[in-house]
């Protein structure tokens, strides 16, 4: 009763529930409405997948009065930012421009949460661009739960108003299709085993792997397309659908000097400790001791030191720098491990049976735990000792019992066969120079742009045996044509499953770009409903396209870049 009174009277709000000791059960219950008791749920748009793209799509539709039902297979929304435990990968200009206003709002909320709830030092609190972890990969390295709280707060008013129905721990199992239209999608509650049918004029696939596409019969591609189809400089001669980027089971750890937090020896430890990757070009040695530098592919030793201010990979994705917080709050820093040493490429999650996928996830978890155990017990330190036994796995930070993220970090999805596919020649610096025959180039200017992004073409080692493909790209746009399936009329991609290639996926898959894709998809649904038209007509009718682009820019969506140099 006291918990209930606290929720009803304190004004603490849903944003804080997940870090106030109430747990996922209470937060999930907060979202429940009478609609959840029904076996059929109707809405203006059904969004399958609650990652960054799904959340952005939901907010875009909700802002314009649409009703939304959104599903999520885990008990955390936020995708790669939360349940996959990956701090944002962003371009150098992210504090000033190059993302949507709603994405900037999310980043402001994350920083505000630290200022409101964490004992920051006065200097850190006053810093306008606070980076809680001072990690090297991002200007905003933070704990997953803080992003979860921020996203939850953004959606909470719509849930309270009955506009949003959020179905956590629900995954799609089938779709009812009539010709070129999806009529309904059935989802299953993984905890209760019950099924619900979602009915809507529009469906968005915001799943991490494009799971709705095969269920709805939407034409898609997976893996590496042949060069004859894409013209991509680095494409193979023949299609390689089973050649997919590695995925990673990330984890959080901190360091407590003088303590011993060594985990039990993982079952597959001996295998992973001695594993020598077989990649082309060659990996320089054993998986743990060495790595390929992503751009040059030259060998580099695994550099790591959690003591003092930290060195090497310790600071790469560090999410808590003790210097930012009251003395004594953190015994040492805290970092998220999403490193070359725990990328898993010995099998795929797409195009295989559920049992096969589960086997690969289990092995990927063994890889990550083996890496931790090796760092605790056998890592060769600069001082001549071996291992840091004070490294502590933090299951509380990622919200799981085993200490590994709730969901594998997915880099590559099924991708729709779209009206327009973004090729390497559109955004790759070298490919663009070859196509235009000059050095001074910009990315292809898309007249149907609905967003922007920038990141290197960054492909991690793949299940087909490719080492890194990490090459320069140009600040790019998101063309509306890449969101329109070739045939199906009322299903849109809202994640990294848009019309890109295996190569260009490498720069369209990052946090702010995924958010922009989702926001464009959600706004397109709202615009199409309001104009009583179809997304395909919006793209192919100049007046409608211009109106839609104005609709986006009025909401703070950036659809063009200033002149910038290649990354």
Residue-wise pLDDT for 138-152, tens only, equals: 999 999 999 999 999
Nearest to 407 by CA among 178, 176, 168: 168
* pLDDT band (50, 70, 90) for residue 20: very low
The pLDDT confidence band at residue 6, using thresholds 50, 70 and 90, is very low
Residue 23 has pLDDT above 50, yes or no: no
Confidence of residue 565 (pLDDT cuts 50, 70, 90): low
Helix, coil or strand: residue 60: helix
Question: Per-residue pLDDT for 184 more than 50?
Answer: yes
pLDDT confidence of residue 13: 37
pLDDT in tens, 304-331: 999 988 999 999 999 999 999 999 898 8
Q: Phi/psi class of residue 270: alpha, beta or left (left: φ > 0; alpha: ψ in -120 to 50)?
A: alpha
Q: Which helix (H) or strand (E) holds 26?
A: helix 23-31
| Pairing mode of beta strands 318-320, 334-337 | antiparallel
Q: What's the average model confidence in pLDDT over 52-80? A: 98
- Cis before residue 281, ω within 30 degrees of 0? yes
Q: How high is the pLDDT of residue 557?
A: 97
How far is the C-alpha of 423 from the C-alpha of 435, rounded, in Å? 12
Percent of the chain with pLDDT over 70: 93
| pLDDT at residue 279 greater than cutoff 70 | yes
Cα-flanking dihedrals φ and ψ of residue 14, to 5°? -65, -30
- What distance in Å separates the CA atoms of residue 126 and residue 122, rounded to the nearest whole number? 6
Q: How far is CA 184 from CA 74, 127, 215, 485, 543, in A?
A: 21, 48, 11, 18, 31
**Helix/strand/coil for 545:** helix
- Burial string for 348-375 (b: 16+ CB within 10 Å, else e) reads bbbeeeeeebeebbebbbbbbbbbbbbb
pLDDT bucket at 22, cuts 50 / 70 / 90: very low
pLDDT in tens, 360-395: 999 999 999 999 999 999 999 999 999 999 999 999
Comparing 50-54, 287-291, 466-470, which segment has the lowest mean pLDDT? 287-291
pLDDT above 90 (res 290)? no
Using CA atoms, how far residue 109 sits from 116, 157, 442, 460, in Å, is: 10, 15, 33, 31
Q: Would you kindly state where each structural domain of the chain is located, as residue ranges?
A: 219-225+414-461+477-553, 247-398
Residues 6+ apart with CB under 8 A from 104: 556
pLDDT of residue 39: 92
CA–CA dist 143, 408 (Å, integer)? 17
Residue 8 pLDDT grade (very low, low, confident, very high; cuts 50, 70, 90)? very low
Beta strands at 181-189 and 290-292: parallel, antiparallel or unpaired: unpaired
pLDDT at 566: 60
Residues sharing a CB contact under 8 Å with residue 67, sequence separation 6 or more, in sequence order: 42, 43, 44, 45, 163, 164, 165
Residue that the structure tokens 């898993």 belong to: 344
Tell me which of 212 and 13 has the higher pLDDT.
Answer: 212
Q: What count of other Cβ atoms lies within 10 Å of the Cβ of residue 383?
A: 8
At 216, is the secondary structure helix, strand, or coil? coil
CB 520 within 8 A of CB 498: no
Query: What per-residue confidence (pLDDT) applies to 564?
Result: 67
For the chain, how big is the Rg over CA atoms in Å? 23
- Strands 164-168 and 68-72: what pairing? parallel
3-class DSSP state for residue 168? strand
Q: Convert the pLDDT of each residue in 27-36 to its tens digit.
A: 454 444 445 5
- Note the pLDDT of residue 534: 98
Element (H, E) at 319: strand 318-320
Mean pLDDT of all residues in 124-145: 96
| CA angle, 143 then 398 then 118, to 5° | 35
Report CA torsion sign: 393, 55, 163, 557. Answer: positive
Quote the pLDDT of residue 289. Answer: 87
Confidence at 26, pLDDT banded by 50, 70, 90? very low
Q: Where are the alpha helices (DSSP H) in 380-469?
A: 395-398, 424-427, 429-436
Per-residue pLDDT, 351: 96
Output the pLDDT for position 331: 85
In this prediction, residue 3 carries a pLDDT of 35
Q: Are the C-beta atoms of residues 66 and 219 closer than 8 Å to each other? A: no
Cβ atoms of 54 and 204 closer than 8 Å: yes
Residue 24 and residue 501: Cα distance in Å, rounded? 37
For residue 89, report the phi and psi dihedrals to the nearest 5 degrees. Answer: -95, 120
| Average confidence (pLDDT) over 420-447 | 97
What ranges make up the beta strands (E) of 425-468? 449-453, 457-459
d(CA 427, CA 445): 10
The pair of three-digit structure tokens given for residue 226, joined into one six-digit string = 């042949």
- pLDDT for 391-409, tens place per residue? 999 999 999 999 999 999 9
pLDDT for the residue numbered 36: 54
CA dist list (Å): 121 to 324, 335, 485:
6, 19, 50
- Residues 6+ positions from 230 with CB-CB distance below 8 Å: 421, 423, 424, 501, 503
Q: Is pLDDT at 425 greater than 50 in this prediction?
A: yes
166 or 289, which is more confident?
Answer: 166
Exposed, middle or buried, 149 (CB in 10 Å: 0-12/13-18/19+)? buried
Average pLDDT over residues 159-179: 97
Residues 6+ apart with CB under 8 A from 435: 425
């Amino acid at each position: 009763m006291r918990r209930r009174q606290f929720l009803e009277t304190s004004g603490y709000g849903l944003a804080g529930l997940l870090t106030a000791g109430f747990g996922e059960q209470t937060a999930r219950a907060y979202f429940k409405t009478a609609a959840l008791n029904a076996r059929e749920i109707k809405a203006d748009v059904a969004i399958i997948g609650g990652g960054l793209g799904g959340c952005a799509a939901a907010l875009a539709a909700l802002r314009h009065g649409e009703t939304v039902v959104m599903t999520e297979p885990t008990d955390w929304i936020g995708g790669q930012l939360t349940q996959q435990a990956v701090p944002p990968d962003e371009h150098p200009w992210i504090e000033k421009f190059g993302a949507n206003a709603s994405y900037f709002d999310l980043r402001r909320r994350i920083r505000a949460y630290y200022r409101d709830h964490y004992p920051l030092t006065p200097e850190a609190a006053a810093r306008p661009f606070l980076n809680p972890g001072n990690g090297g990969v991002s200007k905003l390295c933070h704990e997953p739960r803080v992003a979860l709280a921020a996203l939850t707060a953004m959606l909470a008013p719509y849930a309270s108003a009955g506009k949003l129905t959020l179905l956590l721990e629900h995954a799609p199992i089938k779709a009812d299709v009539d010709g070129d239209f999806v009529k309904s999608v059935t989802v299953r509650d993984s905890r209760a085993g019950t099924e619900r049918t979602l009915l809507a004029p529009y469906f968005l696939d915001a799943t991490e792997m494009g799971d709705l596409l095969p269920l709805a019969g939407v034409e898609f591609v997976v893996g590496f397309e042949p060069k004859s189809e894409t013209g991509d400089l680095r494409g193979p001669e023949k299609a390689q659908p089973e050649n997919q980027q590695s995925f990673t089971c990330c984890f959080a750890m901190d360091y407590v000097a003088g303590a011993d937090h060594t985990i039990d020896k993982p079952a597959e430890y001996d295998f992973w400790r001695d594993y020598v990757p077989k990649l082309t070009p060659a990996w320089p040695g054993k998986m743990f001791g060495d790595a390929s530098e992503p751009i040059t592919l030259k060998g580099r030793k695994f550099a790591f030191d959690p003591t003092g201010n930290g060195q090497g990979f310790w600071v790469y994705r560090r999410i808590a720098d003790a210097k930012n917080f009251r003395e004594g709050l953190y015994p040492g820093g805290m970092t998220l491990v999403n490193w070359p040493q725990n990328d898993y490429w010995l099998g795929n999650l797409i195009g295989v049976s559920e049992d096969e996928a589960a086997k690969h996830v289990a092995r990927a978890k063994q890889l990550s735990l083996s890496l931790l155990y090796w760092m605790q017990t056998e890592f060769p330190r600069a001082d001549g000792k071996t291992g840091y036994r004070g490294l502590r796995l933090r299951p509380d930070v990622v919200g799981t019992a085993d200490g590994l993220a709730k969901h594998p970090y997915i880099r590559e999805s099924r991708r729709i066969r779209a009206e327009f596919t973004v090729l390497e020649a559109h955004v790759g610096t070298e490919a663009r120079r070859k196509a235009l025959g000059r050095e001074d180039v910009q990315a292809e200017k898309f007249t149907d742009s609905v967003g922007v992004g920038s990141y290197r073409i960054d492909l991690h080692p793949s299940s087909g045996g490719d080492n890194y493909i990490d090459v320069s790209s140009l600040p790019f746009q998101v063309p509306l044509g890449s969101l329109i399936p070739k045939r199906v009329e009322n299903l849109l991609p809202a994640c990294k499953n848009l019309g890109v290639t295996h190569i260009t996926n490498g720069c369209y898959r990052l946090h702010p770009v995924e958010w922009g894709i989702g926001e464009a998809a959600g706004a397109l649904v709202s615009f199409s409903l309001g104009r009583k038209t179809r997304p395909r007509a919006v793209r192919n009718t100049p007046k409608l396209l211009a109106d839609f682009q104005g609709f986006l820019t009025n909401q703070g969506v950036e659809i063009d870049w200033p002149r910038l140099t290649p990354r």
